[in-house]
């Protein structure tokens, strides 16, 4: 049987600090804004928050470029404000996770400034420096062919010392060299700085990129482009598990905390399980990425690849059954700050389906094993920016770089960009970062400034917190009920076993699964309609079950079958 733990029973609420609430009228969210909403967050039933980075940063990648891990980006507040937030959360018996961004730093970090100052600087090897290569004509070339995750070469040339440094994201985000024991020690100290202030754990950014193949070999060439992925050599390198175990024994084991690692590129279930299998004593859980990439193409995020319910069936079945086999634990999530809203991508944000679809997805998140993570705004059915927003509305560096690259390749002809715009409208990171919609007053009450730091989705006049708070039929009310059910039935929904219902029983548009508690004391059946059509499911074999919750109201049983409305969700219990 599965060992119980607070972090397995937690329900986590992700806050993107820039976009939650602006308390001082500068157009940008801030820490005091979050403090003022602690009671609101608690009222949802969630018990833990994850804060995306709030640290001192030039904000080239919205704080994922940290210049000093021990001070706070001034417009967000101060270390004292963060202490206040930690204390207020703890007073409400809630917890807080911070983002640990240590695969790379900002180029404005004191460590990098020292490192780049000379080849003999003691911190030179805290980053990854290499000599240039030269082609037959004597032209300078990068040390290898790796492609940056944000486009272009993964190497940046430094004139001062005539060497390249590795930067897998932006050139202003140099990769730290985890081979350096001194650098690792300094990073451990930074972690302790926050743990000693009461932080309850970390979401570890780009976790498995910390160990690269020591020879940094060329990536496999799969097309005629100048740069190739190289991920087979920079993800989950040979020392990855050593670094994680060292963090455990040197730092984390001295505190009662949880860790969730962001895991990219590594996909096979055995390798994945090695980070979270209990006997390995590494991390508590992972973001495996596949669930937010279901509509990405083989050649990259913005290649068209339509969502189909079969994809979520496959991924859900895979991890729900693999984790117990390896005695590991996982997360359950559909949204984060790196993509479009799941409501708009995997379900529907059209006016007639939006509320049903948002509730259906909430049902998914709250009835599976693993620790659920929701993104602020999910509780009110926040959606992507609509079709009326053009390319100029997209300000995030990832989408912008992509758009610029394609535009250049197409000779700068904007009229040829409609396919790219369509993909941005679905998947751009901007959608996951839209300011929170608090009420229908100007700027959704997110800020008193005339101009928010980014677009506020104009649908806020209808879709906002205030309008849903006291409405028994609202998305928010349903979310609260779903979270409460998870807390009421942990043996079933948190720790229970998972049995998939085959497509032959549910039809291809329905995701169905059974949950069993120990010794089968409780049994539950979850049926989720991922289509905008009515679907019928035969439930003859579930005689004696009754409806625990449903997003479609009224009686869901029609004799021997359940009739699911468009985006309907039904949970049966016995």
Residues identified as active-site: 205, 262
Q: Which is nearer to ligand ISL, 124 or 427 (CB)?
A: 427
Q: Which is nearer to ligand ISL, 60 or 487 (CB)?
A: 60
Q: Which is nearer to ligand ISL, 206 or 474 (CB)?
A: 206
CA distance 382 to 228: 36
CA distance 355 to 448: 28
Q: Which is nearer to ligand ISL, 258 or 511 (CB)?
A: 258
Contact between 510 and 537 under an 8 Å Cβ cutoff? The reply is yes
Contact between 285 and 371 under an 8 Å Cβ cutoff? The reply is yes
CA distance 32 to 55: 15
- What minimum distance in Å lies between the beta carbon of 205 and ligand ISL? 5
C-alpha angle 446-450-453 in degrees, rounded to nearest 5: 60
Contact between 16 and 433 under an 8 Å Cβ cutoff? The reply is yes
- What minimum distance in Å lies between the beta carbon of 209 and ligand ISL? 8
C-alpha angle 444-447-452 in degrees, rounded to nearest 5: 90
Contact between 167 and 155 under an 8 Å Cβ cutoff? The reply is yes
CA distance 319 to 273: 10
- What minimum distance in Å lies between the beta carbon of 457 and ligand ISL? 19
Based on C-alpha coordinates, what's the Rg of the chain? 24
Q: Which is nearer to ligand ISL, 101 or 382 (CB)?
A: 101
Instruction: Give residue number: closest CB to ligand ISL.
Output: 64
- What minimum distance in Å lies between the beta carbon of 429 and ligand ISL? 6
Give strand pairing partners of 99: 203
Kindly report the three-state secondary structure assignment for every residue of 351-380.
Answer: CCCHHHHHHHHHHHHHCCCCEEEEECCHHH
Q: Which is nearer to ligand ISL, 61 or 423 (CB)?
A: 61
CA distance 341 to 415: 27
Q: Which is nearer to ligand ISL, 288 or 550 (CB)?
A: 288
Contact between 279 and 328 under an 8 Å Cβ cutoff? The reply is no
Walk across the sheet containing 163-166 and list its strands: 129-130, 163-166, 155-158
- What minimum distance in Å lies between the beta carbon of 100 and ligand ISL? 11
Contact between 253 and 232 under an 8 Å Cβ cutoff? The reply is no
Q: Which is nearer to ligand ISL, 147 or 354 (CB)?
A: 147
Q: Which is nearer to ligand ISL, 101 or 365 (CB)?
A: 101
- What minimum distance in Å lies between the beta carbon of 396 and ligand ISL? 9
CA distance 415 to 409: 13
Contact between 128 and 175 under an 8 Å Cβ cutoff? The reply is yes
- What minimum distance in Å lies between the beta carbon of 60 and ligand ISL? 10
Strand spans (E) along 365-479: 371-375
CA distance 62 to 184: 24
Contact between 218 and 130 under an 8 Å Cβ cutoff? The reply is no
Of 56, 33, 43, which is closest to residue 111 (Cα–Cα)?
A: 56
Q: Which residues bind ligand ISL (CB under 6 A)?
A: 61, 64, 101, 149, 169, 205-206, 262, 264, 301, 337-339, 398, 429
- What minimum distance in Å lies between the beta carbon of 26 and ligand ISL? 22
Q: Which is nearer to ligand ISL, 425 or 506 (CB)?
A: 425
Q: Are strands 561-564 and 535-538 parallel, antiparallel or unpaired?
A: antiparallel
CA distance 112 to 169: 15
Of 444, 443, 448, which is closest to residue 464 (Cα–Cα)?
A: 444
Q: How many residues does the chain have?
A: 574
- What minimum distance in Å lies between the beta carbon of 319 and ligand ISL? 17
CA distance 402 to 421: 11
How many C-beta atoms lie closer than 10 Å to residue 356's C-beta?
23
Q: Which is nearer to ligand ISL, 41 or 424 (CB)?
A: 424
- What minimum distance in Å lies between the beta carbon of 149 and ligand ISL? 5
- What minimum distance in Å lies between the beta carbon of 254 and ligand ISL? 27
Burial class (CB in 10 A: 0-12, 13-18, 19+), 388: exposed
CA distance 105 to 111: 9
């Amino acid at each position: 049987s599965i060992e119980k733990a607070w972090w397995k029973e937690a329900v986590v609420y992700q806050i993107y600090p820039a976009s939650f609430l602006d308390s001082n009228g500068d157009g940008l969210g801030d820490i005091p804004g979050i403090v003022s909403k602690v009671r609101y967050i608690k009222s949802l039933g969630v018990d833990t928050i994850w804060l995306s980075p709030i640290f001192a940063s030039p904000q080239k990648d919205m704080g994922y470029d940290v210049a000093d891990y021990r001070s706070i980006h001034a417009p967000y507040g101060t270390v004292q404000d963060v202490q206040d937030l930690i204390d207020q959360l703890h007073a409400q018996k809630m917890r807080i996770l911070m983002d640990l961004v240590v695969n790379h730093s900002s180029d404005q970090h004191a460590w990098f400034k020292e490192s780049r100052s000379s080849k003999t600087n003691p911190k030179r090897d805290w980053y990854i420096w290499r000599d240039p290569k030269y082609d037959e004509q004597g032209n300078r070339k990068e040390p290898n062919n790796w492609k940056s995750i944000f486009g272009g070469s993964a190497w940046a040339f430094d004139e001062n010392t005539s060497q390249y440094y590795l930067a897998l994201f932006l050139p202003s985000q140099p990769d730290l060299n985890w081979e350096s024991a001194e650098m690792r020690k300094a990073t451990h100290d930074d972690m302790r700085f926050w743990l000693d202030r009461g932080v309850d754990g970390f979401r570890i950014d780009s976790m498995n990129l910390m160990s690269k193949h020591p020879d940094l070999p060329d990536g496999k060439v799969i097309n005629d482009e100048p740069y190739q992925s190289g991920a087979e050599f920079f993800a989950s390198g040979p020392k990855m598990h050593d670094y994680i175990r060292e963090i455990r024994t040197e730092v984390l084991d001295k505190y009662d905390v949880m860790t969730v690692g962001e895991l990219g590129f590594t996909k096979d279930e055995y390798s994945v399980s090695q980070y979270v299998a209990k006997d390995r004593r590494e991390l508590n859980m992972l973001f495996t990425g596949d669930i937010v990439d279901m509509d990405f193409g083989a050649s990259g995020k913005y290649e068209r690849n339509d969502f189909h319910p079969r994809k979520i069936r496959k991924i859900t079945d895979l991890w729900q059954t693999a984790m117990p086999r390896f005695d590991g634990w996982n997360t359950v999530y559909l949204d984060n700050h790196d993509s479009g809203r799941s409501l708009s991508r995997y379900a529907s944000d059209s006016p007639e389906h939006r509320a049903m679809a948002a509730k259906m997805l909430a049902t998914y998140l709250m009835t599976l094993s693993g620790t659920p993570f929701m993104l602020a705004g999910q509780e009110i059915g926040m959606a992507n920016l609509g079709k009326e927003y053009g390319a100029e509305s997209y300000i995030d560096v990832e989408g912008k770089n992509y758009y610029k690259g394609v535009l250049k390749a197409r000779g700068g002809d904007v009229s040829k960009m409609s396919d790219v715009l369509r993909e941005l409208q679905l998947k751009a990171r901007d959608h996951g970062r839209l300011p929170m919609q608090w009420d229908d007053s100007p700027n959704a009450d997110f800020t008193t400034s005339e101009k928010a730091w980014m677009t506020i989705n104009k649908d806020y006049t209808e879709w906002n917190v205030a309008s849903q708070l006291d409405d028994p039929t609202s998305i928010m009310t349903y979310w609260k009920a779903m979270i409460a059910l998870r807390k009421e039935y942990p043996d079933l929904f948190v720790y229970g076993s998972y049995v998939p219902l085959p497509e032959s029983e549910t039809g291809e548009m329905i995701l169905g699964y059974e949950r069993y508690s120990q010794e089968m004391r409780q049994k539950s059946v979850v049926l989720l309609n991922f289509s905008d059509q009515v679907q019928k499911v035969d439930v003859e074999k579930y005689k004696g079950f009754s409806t625990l919750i449903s997003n479609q109201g009224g009686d869901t049983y029609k004799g021997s079958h359940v009739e699911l409305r468009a985006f309907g969700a039904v949970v049966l219990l016995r």
